[in-house]
Amino acid sequence: MVHHGGRAGGDGRAGLDDVARLAGVSLSTASRALNNHPQVAAATRERVLAAAAGLDYVVSPDASRLAGRSSRARVAVVVPHLSRWFFGRLLEGLEVGLRDGDPDGGAGVDQLLFLVGDVAGRRAFFEDLPARRRVDAAVVVGFEVDEVEQRRLELLGVSIVSAGGPREPFPSVTVDDLRAGRQAVDHLVHLGHRRIGMLATADPADRGPDLRSRAYRTALTDAGVPDDPDLVVRVPFGPAGGAEGMGRLLGLRRPPTAVFAYSDEVAAGAVRAVQRAGLRVPDDISVVGIDDHPLAGLLDLTTVAQPVHEQGVVAGGMVRVLLAGGDPPPSQVLPTHLVLRGSTAPPGAAGRAET
């Protein structure tokens, strides 16, 4: 049986030889005792264990793994951003989900963080992984895993869970972005708006937001509202993008009476742009977002709430099932709901004249 740790190093750590000496046994006996070898007398094993405890001796994790003991599972947590609330919040939920039910309080799982800020970073992550085979599972948050990468991970036996992003052949937890988009736009339609703008994602690979654009279009179609391409402005993520996009919408010969922004952080910038132009939300123009970001309450923003923390918790639960060798758990779609605040209202007199 392999057992590392014979040297008590200059770093002050107790080695196996220190334990053996304290217990008054040979090195090999100490090793067998700690490895629960059946041939070691109970009294001897007790003495060795007591010596080990007294010296704060710990079996080298590497050696114990090789000796066949269970070792800590390694879970890669792969995110494109960390400074965006969505990702931080989901990761907080993931921590809860990974820990839940574990008597060790989560001490059995190592979470390895991989920040993959761009496509090159993601590609590097997937290429790097095979060469090291260092994780047992990976939670991919908010981005797609293409077929090449998928196949690679399957060959390595790395279980994947996708959270807060596209649904893949592997277990995922997400929200129905089409439905969330419908909830937002149908709300504007129900208020009486017919000239509705959209601040859409500039990144067609950003699948969730892209689905929200689709929802916008079908909601208008179902409401019998004609499509006007001028009313759709593509913007990068964030308040600056929202402000810039709203500026363009306000500059149209016939501006919209309401705007749907694909994310609250975009909506927040849009609202500010309206206010800086000396106009008022919702009196002059209504704005609705998606997320129910903590910002939304602050800005009195009507939005569609998605359960972000819960997506993380569910993802953690799925990982635990896979690590335990269970069948891939079924994917889950968590519900979203409209949160009415003060940024939406029926169109003003000018708007109603449109219909």
Instruction: Write down the least CB distance from residue 152 to its own copies, Å.
Output: 10
Instruction: Write down the least CB distance from residue 124 to its own copies, Å.
Output: 6
Partnered with residue 201 across adjacent β-strands are: 235
Question: What is the C-alpha to C-alpha distance for residues 107 and 61, in angstroms, rounded to an integer?
Answer: 14
* Nearest residue (CB) to its own copies, 92 versus 144: 92
Q: Note whether 61 binds its own copies by CB under 8 A.
A: yes
Give the one residue of 21, 84, 214, 248 binding its own copies; rule: CB under 8 A. Answer: 84
Question: What is the C-alpha to C-alpha distance for residues 129 and 113, in angstroms, rounded to an integer?
Answer: 13
Binding mask 125-164 for its own copies (x = CB under 8 A): ---x-xxxxx--------------------xxx-------
Instruction: Write down the least CB distance from residue 38 to its own copies, Å.
Output: 23
Binding mask 20-59 for its own copies (x = CB under 8 A): ------------------------------------x-x-
Instruction: Write down the least CB distance from residue 145 to its own copies, Å.
Output: 19
Partnered with residue 141 across adjacent β-strands are: 163
Question: What is the C-alpha to C-alpha distance for residues 188 and 267, in angstroms, rounded to an integer?
Answer: 14
Site for its own copies in 258-277 (CB under 8 A): 268-269, 272
CB atoms within 10 A of CB 306: 23
- Binding span for its own copies by CB under 8 A among 81-89, 139-147, 189-197, 220-228: 81-89
- Binding span for its own copies by CB under 8 A among 137-145, 191-199, 249-257, 294-302: 294-302
Instruction: Write down the least CB distance from residue 157 to its own copies, Å.
Output: 5
The answer to whether 286 and 316 have CB atoms below 8 angstroms apart is no
Max intra-chain CA distance, the chain = 96
Binding mask 86-125 for its own copies (x = CB under 8 A): -xxx-xx--x---------x-x--xxxxxx-x------x-
Question: What is the C-alpha to C-alpha distance for residues 131 and 243, in angstroms, rounded to an integer?
Answer: 44
Give ∠ CA 344-283-247 in degrees, rounded to 5: 85
* Nearest residue (CB) to its own copies, 192 versus 238: 238
Look at strands 172-175 and 332-334 and give their pairing.
parallel
Site for its own copies in 201-220 (CB under 8 A): none
The answer to whether 89 and 308 have CB atoms below 8 angstroms apart is yes
Q: Note whether 82 binds its own copies by CB under 8 A.
A: yes
Helices (H), the chain: 16-23, 27-34, 42-54, 61-66, 85-99, 119-132, 147-156, 177-191, 207-222, 239-250, 264-276, 294-298, 308-323, 349-352
Q: Note whether 279 binds its own copies by CB under 8 A.
A: no
Give kind and range of the element (H or E) at residue 93.
helix 85-99
| Spatial CA neighbour of 182 closest among 196, 168, 167, 165 | 196
Instruction: Write down the least CB distance from residue 324 to its own copies, Å.
Output: 16
DSSP state for residue 229 in the 8-state scheme: G
* Nearest residue (CB) to its own copies, 155 versus 324: 155
Q: What is the CB-side half-sphere exposure of residue 29 using CA atoms within 13 A? A: 19
Q: Note whether 179 binds its own copies by CB under 8 A.
A: no
Instruction: Write down the least CB distance from residue 316 to its own copies, Å.
Output: 11
The answer to whether 337 and 183 have CB atoms below 8 angstroms apart is yes
Q: Note whether 337 binds its own copies by CB under 8 A.
A: no
Question: What is the C-alpha to C-alpha distance for residues 285 and 46, in angstroms, rounded to an integer?
Answer: 76
Give the one residue of 4, 167, 214, 217 binding its own copies; rule: CB under 8 A. Answer: 4
Strands (DSSP E) along 167-265, which ranges?
172-175, 196-201, 232-235, 258-261
Give the one residue of 181, 239, 241, 307 binding its own copies; rule: CB under 8 A. Answer: 239
Q: What residues make contact with its own copies under the rule CB under 8 A?
A: 2, 4, 11-13, 56, 58, 60-63, 65-66, 72, 77, 81-85, 87-89, 91-92, 95, 105, 107, 110-115, 117, 124, 128, 130-134, 155-157, 238-239, 268-269, 272, 294-295, 297-299
